[in-house]
A and B are shown apart, each in its own frame.
Chain A
Amino acid sequence: MFEPVFRAAWEGWGIVFSWPNLLYPVVGTVLAMTFSAVPGLSGVTLMALAIPFTLTWDPVPLMLIFGPFIGGATFMGSVTAILFNIPGRSSCAAVLLDGHPLAQQGKAKTAIACSASSSALGSTFGILVLVALMPFLRESTLFFGPSEILMLTVWGLTTIAVLVRGSVLKGLAAAGLGLLLSFVGQDPRTAESRYILGSLYLRDGLDLLPVSVGLFAVAGVIELAAGGRRMISEKSRFEQLPGGVREGVLAPWRHFSLFVRSSVIGTLVGIIPGVGGTVASFIAYGHAVQPAKAPENFGKGDIRGPPAPEAAVDAKDGGALVPTLGLGIPGSSGTAMLLLALILHGITPGRAMLTNNLTLVFVLIWSLFLSNWLTSIFGLASVSPLSRLTVLPIAFVAPIILVLATEGVYLAKTQIEDVALAYVFGVLGYLMKAHGWPRIPLIIALVLGRAFERNLQLTLQLHRLGRIYFWSRPLVLSLIILSLTTLAFHYFQDRKARKVQGVLEL
């Protein structure tokens, strides 16, 4: 069973790491990095543009160049998130929750280096899982149904209980607002419009990119302008910046168990088609907070914050290839474009490809692997010049942030309403910050609320029809136990803390 897989893996490795084939992933990585560095653009746009040009190519160079396009430069979207609070794409929004506060502490170098190394390690994890699952790709994909996704989102939502400690009412109100906002749009079952105020634009619900850019980047600019701060970082000179690259690179190793758990979450979410990197990154972030000592440090520049979502988002790319290669069903928008390119080259993804073109599959996998490492290496090399941006005067940086935020939000879907939405959430984010209302519960509830509702509706319908038995599914039961344990753990921890506080006050 494994012998043909190993042989094909070895042949694929030889093809990728031979001259001049090596040029394709390198050029592809540079192109993907350039695109991904512009907020609002991504490898998917690049693939849409590349497909007509690559039509006459042989399948091998096609796979070599599409590897980087699928997920090679994901980490670049986190760079603008860390430096300016602008997520390059919505899946990078969770990175800014602690990444930007680190930059504000002068530790941009540490945060970017941490993201770069978590990205390379996370993608490697996802790819290793993909290779290990190669003989069972079909079975792995079919293991996750709506009830499993539902409980995964419930587990993610329990994070809110941890995040609201200290300001319970405000935190729960923010999470409630996030859940309410996630209901804007069409009911996933009946297609009836809810809370859309007669606007077609709102029919698809609130897009996460403008919301997160507004809540954090635009609000950040208002705060910078209003607060009299002179630069993003607390320090005014580059030489004074305290964080080091080494500390960042080693962060995923120092918190290795967190890194592994986040990568597992990313890979699992990647395997489930249609759930997406944003959900993966927020569940992973939540998971970083849940069992942590001193969870109150999260959101304020905790070094454990960036590696969890970064590793999850990059591990997701390996996971997303599982349904694509196993069943010909894309697990993400990037793999949907890959599928199209393969079909246009006369290659049938799925069982036929695994039987007849396994070496080609590994060419794609190793190209993606190489590209992720190249992106991280390029990213590490540019840490110093990038972190200098945090000591530039606010008068110079703030307008650039606002332009980048506006451009990023507009470019993603070329809808001017997205820009207006970002600005509305910018004001809301600023007011929330100014009055001590936490924004993280709002964004987590908004991200997970939509997936929660859709899968709850599906689970209820299937359960009523007798198509699934909710209580007899092992993964569902495990996730219920995990969610209850998380809540109980924090309840008892809180009680213990209150008792200690009571004794001290006595």
Chain B
Amino acid sequence: MVNGTGGGDDTLSRFIAPHLGRVLGADILVESRGGAAGVIGVRAIRDAIPDGLTLGLINAAGFVAPILAGDRTVPNPTTDLTVLCRISRSRHVWAARMDSPLRSMQDVLKLSRERPVVFPISDLGAVAFISATLTSNLLDLPVKLVAGYEGSRSGVLAALRGEVDLISYNLESIIENIRNRDIRPLLQISDKPLSGDPAFENVPLLGGPDGMAAAHAGSIHHDVEAAKTEATAIAALLGAGRIVVGPPRMNRDLSVCLTNKLKQVLASPDLLSVAEAANVSLDVADGGTALAEFADLDQKSRKFIPIIQSAIERIRQ
């Protein structure tokens, strides 16, 4: 576990551990190795002996984002680890507080013609930073980022206090606030609907043929197909999801065996119900598929680097 005790990843690990232990016929110890936004834990996995006795659960988007932001201390999941299995994908949304004058993306576009739209972020390597920067760039929205809010909870409070206009977070982190009608989703950063919750009815998608990206590109006579491709790439980057990894250079038979056992565990009804209750969107894929997706993502997201670097420069100045 590359995060501290408590929280979603820790709990998910503790749910998976006894099931995995049963199918492997082994005792599994969940150890928290938090610190430096998970880098310490990932480095511990990277440096372990690849004998199958050390595995880790990591949130890939949390590592891809800092790499794009130029952080050289972060191990790259595609090259520095053995990817065994993908468990879930992240689903990012933009939202505003329920009594905000911003009730739709049309209101957001109208506001952006008067002044920049204000978002909260924790810091310049955070997924929320990448999400707000890339999506607003695609839609030509001028934005201002207020950095220093620790996590999605502080960001939601900032929105509720009226300190910021919009928030951009993983749906898992804010679904309860949406269900409580404290905040209203305004944009689904995806090319297909992210949730069946009634609050998402009529909430536009960023990607897809009828998405905001295509509509915006069409309205300013830009390349619609390129905008759709970019929207898909942003959604893939933000939705990279939780993956189970091991140290690099793991024996192929061993990694295949572990992948199969993990997939068997992740299909168990107990785990499915837990994931559903915890609002975790299970989307299981084997390591090869996840790795191929990462490699593709790695290529596609390179074009985002100048956009991100320039946003970082602006904030640091």
| Contact surface of A with B, Cβ cutoff 8 Å | 44-45, 47-49, 51-52, 55, 141-142, 145-146, 186, 188-192, 200-201, 203-204, 273-274, 323, 327-330, 333, 336-337, 339-340, 343-346, 348-352, 413-415, 454-455, 457-458, 461-462, 465, 467-468
* Inter-subunit contact B11/A461 (CB<8 Å): no
Does A48 contact B6, Cβ atoms closer than 8 Å? yes
Q: What are 5 sample pairs from A and B whose C-beta atoms fall under 8 A apart?
A: A203-B37, A327-B157, A340-B278, A352-B180, A467-B164
Quick check: is B79 within 8 A (CB to CB) of the other chain?
no
- How far does the Cβ of A103 sit from chain B's closest Cβ, in whole Å? 30
A203/B36 in contact, CB under 8 A: yes
B162 touches which of A146, A336, A467 (Cβ 8 Å):
A467
Q: Which residue of B lies closest to A330 (CB)?
A: B153
Q: Determine whether the beta carbon of A328 is less than 8 Å from that of B6.
A: no
The chain A residue sitting closest to B279, CB to CB, is A343
Asked if residues A457 and B148 are in contact (CB atoms below 8 Å), the reply is: yes
Q: Which of B117-125, B134-142, B202-210, B300-308 participates in binding chain A?
A: B117-125
Chain A residue contacts of B150, Cβ below 8 A: 274, 454
Selected interface stretch from B27-35, B46-54, B240-248: B27-35
* Structural contact, B125 and A142, CB atoms closer than 8 A: no
Q: Are A191 and B123 in contact (CB under 8 A)?
A: yes
State the Cβ distance, B158 to closest chain A Cβ, in Å.
Answer: 8
Least CB distance from A166 to B in Å reads 37
Q: B292 in the interface, Cβ–Cβ < 8 Å?
A: no
Known pairs A188-B147, A189-B147, A348-B179; A142 contacts B160 (CB<8 A): yes
Q: Which of B31, B33, B123, B176 contacts A328 (CB 8 A)?
A: B176
| Chain B residues at the A interface, C-beta cutoff of 8 Å | 4-8, 10-11, 14-15, 18, 31-37, 39-40, 43, 73, 118, 123-125, 144, 146-151, 153-154, 156-158, 160-164, 176-177, 179-182, 274, 277-279, 315-316
Chain A residues closer than 8 Å to B158, beta-carbon distance: 145
- Measured between C-beta atoms, what is the minimum distance from B289 to chain A in Å? 28
Distance, CA A231 to CA B65, complexed state (A)? 55
Closest chain A residue to B8 by CB distance? Answer: A340
B40 touches A188 (CB 8 A): no
A344 touches B274 (CB 8 A): yes
Q: Of all chain A residues, which has the CB nearest B146?
A: A461
Complex: A44 Cα to B11 Cα, angstroms: 12
* Chain A contacts for B182, CB-based, 8 A: 327-328, 350-351
B36 touching A200 by the CB < 8 A rule? yes
CA distance in complex: A302, B123 (Å): 42
* Contact A343 B176, beta carbon cutoff 8 Å: yes
Q: Closest chain A residue to B7 by CB distance?
A: A336
A337 to B33, CA, bound (A): 18
Which of chain B's residues has its CB closest to A185's CB?
B36
Cα A274 to Cα B151 in complex, Å, equals 9
A415–B40 Cα distance when bound, in Å, is 10
Whether A201 and B148, one on each chain, are in contact in the complex, defined by CB atoms closer than 8 angstroms, is no
- CB pair B147 A190 closer than 8 Å: yes
Whether A188 contacts B148 by the Cβ 8 Å rule is yes
Given A200-B40, A333-B6: A468 in contact with B163 (beta carbons within 8 A) = yes
- B177 and A327 contact, CB distance less than 8 A: yes
A200 and B34 alpha carbons, distance in the complex (Å): 11
In the complex, which residues of chain A have a beta carbon less than 8 angstroms from the beta carbon of B153?
273-274, 329-330
Nearest-neighbour CB distance to chain B for A127, whole angstroms, equals 23
Known A52-B18, A413-B34, A465-B146: A190·B10 in contact at CB below 8 Å = no
B15 touches A415 (CB 8 A): no
Instruction: Give the residue name and chain of the B residue nearest to A349 (CB).
Output: B176
Chain A proximity of B165: nearest CB distance (Å): 9
> Which residues of the other chain, B, contact A146 by a CB distance below 8 angstroms?
148, 163
Contact residues in B for A186 (Cβ distance below 8 Å): 123
From residue B5, how far is it (CB to closest CB) to chain A in Å? 5
Cβ–Cβ < 8 Å partners of A203 in chain B: 35-37, 39
Contacting pair B278 A343 (CB below 8 A):
yes
Residue of B nearest to A342 (CB): B176
Shortest CB distance B285–A (Å): 24
